[in-house]
């Protein structure tokens, strides 16, 4: 396991292959599709394509991406996924023994017209006091470069916080890291890609004939906490170990 931590520390991401077995992936996909159907019939099938000029550079008219937060609130199968021992064993090597779920989010990139995400860092959306936040992308389907898989700049987490790096506006620093030159991280269903929230990342459009299905969860270390005043959903759910910063007030606080 020490090689996982060494790779992550050097490159800012780690591609964990085969974390979920085929029968587990099948169950996750069934519930993934069920969530998508429930969103559709409820009228909450929201296109989460980012606005702004950075998206316009790599998107086409008609591109879309379906999204919702917190799949574990829809499905016990997805809660089980975040409690999966193999998943948490890799997360523990990176974060340590105390692992807190901040939130999860479903992304479905439809075939041919799946929206891209420009290069960005995640920290502007939910900064934490100790910058321990990482993401884990659970691949429910394969994800090739043609399907708009994750792209990263290895080692870019060492840049630290880049002001204005949310991907929705022009940024002089991000201009030096064009998405076309980023490293594609192609995955098979069942793989998980972990990356630090400083790591520059994005994805190109899905122009393939296949739908790309992923669920991303944000995790942070049990001594860390989201900075005061941030209104992004924060589940504060202990997946392993202990939440050292929780209080009676925070435990009952609405997101």
pLDDT in tens, the chain (255 residues): 779 999 999 999 999 999 999 999 999 999 999 999 999 999 886 899 999 899 999 999 999 999 999 999 999 999 999 999 999 999 999 999 999 999 999 999 999 999 999 999 999 999 999 999 999 999 999 999 999 999 999 999 999 999 999 999 999 999 999 999 999 999 999 999 999 999 999 999 999 999 999 999 999 999 999 999 998 999 999 999 999 999 999 898 765
pLDDT of residue 255: 57
- Residue length of the chain: 255
SS3 content of the chain, % helix, strand, coil (to 5): 30, 25, 45
pLDDT of residue 69: 96
Contacts 24+ apart (CB under 8 A), 35-40: 35/68, 35/71, 35/74, 35/75, 35/106, 36/66, 36/106, 36/108, 38/74, 39/66, 39/68
The CA-based angle 116-119-122, given to 5 degrees, is 105
Q: Please name the residues in contact with 29: beta carbons below 8 A apart, sequence gap of 6 or more.
A: 140, 141, 189, 213
CA distance 182 to 200: 9
Tell me the two tokens of residue 55: 């998206």
User: Which domains can be identified in the chain, with CATH numbers?
Assistant: 2-251 (2.60.120.620)
CA distance 225 to 206: 35
**What is the side-by-side strand order in the sheet with 183-184?**
117-120, 201-203, 150-152, 183-184
CA distance 161 to 191: 28
User: 49 burial class (0-12, 13-18, 19+ CB within 10 angstroms)?
Assistant: middle
Cβ neighbour number for residue 145 with a 10 Å cutoff: 15
pLDDT of residue 254: 65
Report which secondary-structure segment, H or E, holds 15.
strand 13-16
CA distance 217 to 128: 15
Largest CA distance in the chain: 50
CA distance 206 to 213: 11
Do 233 and 126 touch, CB atoms closer than 8 A?
Answer: no
pLDDT of residue 159: 98
pLDDT of residue 253: 79
């Amino acid at each position: 396991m020490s090689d996982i931590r060494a790779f992550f520390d050097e490159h800012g991401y780690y591609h964990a292959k085969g974390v979920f077995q085929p029968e587990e992936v099948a169950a996750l996909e069934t519930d993934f599709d069920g969530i998508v159907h429930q969103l559709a019939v409820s009228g909450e099938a929201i296109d989460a394509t980012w606005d702004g000029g950075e998206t316009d550079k790599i998107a086409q008219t008609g591109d879309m991406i379906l999204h919702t937060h917190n799949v574990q609130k829809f499905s016990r199968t997805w809660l089980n996924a975040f409690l999966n021992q193999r998943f948490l064993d890799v997360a523990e090597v990176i974060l340590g023994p105390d692992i807190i779920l901040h939130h999860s989010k479903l992304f479905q990139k439809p075939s041919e017209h799946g929206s891209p995400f420009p290069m960005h860092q995640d920290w502007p959306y939910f900064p934490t006091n100790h910058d321990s936040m990482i993401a884990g992308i659970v691949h429910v389907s394969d994800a090739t470069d043609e399907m708009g898989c994750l792209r990263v700049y290895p080692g870019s987490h060492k840049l630290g916080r880049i002001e204005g790096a949310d991907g929705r506006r022009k940024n002089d620093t991000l201009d030096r890291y064009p998405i076309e030159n980023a490293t594609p991280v192609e995955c098979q269903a069942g793989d998980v890609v972990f990356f630090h929230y400083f790591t520059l990342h994005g994805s190109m459009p899905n122009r393939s004939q296949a739908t790309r299905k992923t669920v991303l969860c944000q995790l942070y270390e049990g001594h860390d906490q989201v900075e005061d005043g941030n209104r992004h959903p924060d589940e504060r759910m202990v997946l392993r170990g202990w939440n050292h910063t929780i209080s009676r007030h925070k435990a009952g606080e609405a997101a």
